[in-house]
Amino acid sequence: MLEENLVTSMIKSDGSLATFFSRPIAATLAAITFAIWFWPLAKRLWNRMGRGAPAGQ
């Protein structure tokens, strides 16, 4: 059912993903979702760069 709705939406928007982010609430929810997904990667990279290391080291 979800795939059918996605395909229908993509057909109606001529394949543009911008349709899913055109409204402010949708864009906000997408931004929060991406932030949650990429937070572990960003934190790991931040720590590798040495900025997250304790002051005594």
Per-residue model confidence as pLDDT tens for the chain (57 residues) = 889 998 998 899 998 888 888 899 999 999 999 999 999 999 999 888 876 556 555
Q: pLDDT (tens digit, 9 = 90+) per residue, 9-21?
A: 889 999 888 888 8
Question: What's the predicted TM-score (pTM) here?
Answer: 0.57
Distance CA 57, CA 44 (A): 18
CA end-to-end span of the chain, whole Å? 54
- With tokens 């997408």, the residue in question is 30
